[in-house]
Structure 1
Amino acid sequence: MLRIYDEQKNDIGVATRSEVHRKGYWHEAFHCWLTSYEQDTVYLYLQLRSKRKKDYPNLLDITAAGHLVAHETVEDGIREIKEEIGIDVSFDELIKLGVLYYCVIQEDFIDKELANVFLHKTNKTLDDFILQLEEVSGIVKVKVNDFADLWYGVKEKINMKGFEINEHGERITINEFVSRERFVPHQISFYKEVIQKIQEHI
């Protein structure tokens, strides 16, 4: 059950996740973007969503994110980082980037999120991630500046490096160039706002 809000962002009760996405209620989510600093370059980690996911399978997305269920606070959202990518982080280690509104409408799916967005600067490497395979099948990193160039239209493709766990449990190295089409279709304005806020803190 998720807490739901009207168009003026007033609390109007609770609803199931399927009802929320069918009727297009606003609901709260927790987003955390992880960055690392390596050899004078800032990298951004991205998750590769599992092929088994109902929503946006096999697309690149926020490092760790998820819905806040009805009884949870924003602080409780920290669990998503441990659950999805196996990294232990305390809430006071996060940098708050704000609450961003975004809406994605597809044929039978309306996603209107009040996204509580955070940044975490980590010293972890790709080897430190332990994935929740039903949710996340891989982790990659891209240069923050390249990520910005992609969403601001400077570059059509950017390089990502990382790994994916295949259906046999084997770790497969990823080193390829990707375009916007490989990402979850959040609004371009959402990506730009996140990039701007991340760059203010790196």
Structure 2
Amino acid sequence: MENEMLKVFDQQGNCIGTATRSEVHKSGHWHETFHCWFTERIDNEEFLFFQVRSSTKKDYPKLLDITAAGHILADESPVDGLREVKEELGIELAMEDLHSLGVIKDSLKCPDLIDNELCHVYLYDQPQPFDHYRLQREEVSGIMMASLTEFENLWFRQVEQIKVKGFLMSVNDEKESHSMLVSKRDFVPHEDTYIESVIKAIKKL
């Protein structure tokens, strides 16, 4: 995986070559990713769905994150990112099922990773019952949902905690209903500008 080839870009989004995934993250090159947010409208309220990252993940284990996401390889286009939804969630979608939210920049930094992403962001707004999910256990250990309004208030520090609910996978690979109180620290630390852009785009749709 670390030897996968990715396109690299300058700050203006111009492709300037290719590099391995490990080099991209070491040097902080801008590169393309695919992000797919699941939403559902329930009783006139919008809900966002988050994957729970596996405890075995090298980066940000056990934290809540984008419903499905992954890198776009050098020989791929954004449509190829749909494989991430199938691989991580076990749900097969077509590009016609999604709403494009455009390309949104995001930057994540930790001691051994500089992840500068040009994110091709999409919205999927059709209901998917929890029993339709077939999770890739080495990547995802559960699915949680939260009110979009409550998530926005949490992210921008209007409240300290919100309740999320969904399911976690048991040691026997069974879905177990689960709800919990979470704080902002329980989410992958995306940039505020990225989260703000996603929320605004969802509200427009």
Moved more, 158-167 or 110-119: 158-167
Equivalent positions of 1:48-87 (< 5 A) are 48-87=52-91
Partner-residue secondary structure (3-state), 1:56: coil
1:150 alignment partner, one of 151, 154, 167: 154
Question: What is the alpha-carbon distance in structure 2 between the residues aligned to residue 148 and residue 128 of structure 1?
Answer: 27
Q: Does 1:179 align with 2:183?
A: yes
Q: Which 4+ residue blocks in structure 1 deviate beyond 4 angstroms?
A: none
**Is the 1:151–1:192 Cα contact (8 Å) retained in structure 2?**
no
Q: Cα distance, 1:121 vs. partner?
A: 0.5
Identity of aligned residues (%): 45
Question: What is the alpha-carbon distance in structure 1 between the residues aligned to residue 98 and residue 22 of structure 2?
Answer: 30
Q: Cα distance, 1:133 vs. partner?
A: 0.8
Equivalent positions of 1:31-46 (< 5 A) are 31-46=35-50
Moved more, 59-68 or 153-162: 153-162
2:110 alignment partner, one of 106, 109, 123: 106
Partner-residue secondary structure (3-state), 1:174: strand
Question: What is the alpha-carbon distance in structure 1 between the residues aligned to residue 45 and residue 90 of structure 2?
Answer: 24
Structure 1 length normalisation: TM-score?
0.94
Question: What is the alpha-carbon distance in structure 2 between the residues aligned to residue 93 and residue 171 of structure 1?
Answer: 26
Question: What is the alpha-carbon distance in structure 2 between the residues aligned to residue 199 and residue 126 of structure 1?
Answer: 24
Match of 1:166 in 2: 170
**Is the 1:157–1:180 Cα contact (8 Å) retained in structure 2?**
yes
2:22 alignment partner, one of 15, 18, 23: 18
Q: Does 1:193 align with 2:197?
A: yes
State the number of aligned residues. Answer: 201
Question: What is the alpha-carbon distance in structure 1 between the residues aligned to residue 17 and residue 35 of structure 2?
Answer: 22
Deviations 1:42-77 (A, max 9, x none): 211100011111121111000010000111101111
Q: Cα distance, 1:8 vs. partner?
A: 3.2
Q: Cα distance, 1:20 vs. partner?
A: 0.7
Gaps of 5+ in 2: none
Partner-residue secondary structure (3-state), 1:191: helix
Q: Cα distance, 1:162 vs. partner?
A: 0.9
Deviations 1:160-190 (A, max 9, x none): 0011113442433221110100000111221
Gaps of 5+ in 1: none
Q: 1:73 is matched by which residue type in structure 2?
A: S
Structure 2 length normalisation: TM-score?
0.93
Question: What is the alpha-carbon distance in structure 2 between the residues aligned to residue 142 and residue 8 of structure 1?
Answer: 34
Q: Does 1:129 align with 2:138?
A: no
Question: What is the alpha-carbon distance in structure 1 between the residues aligned to residue 105 and residue 43 of structure 2?
Answer: 34
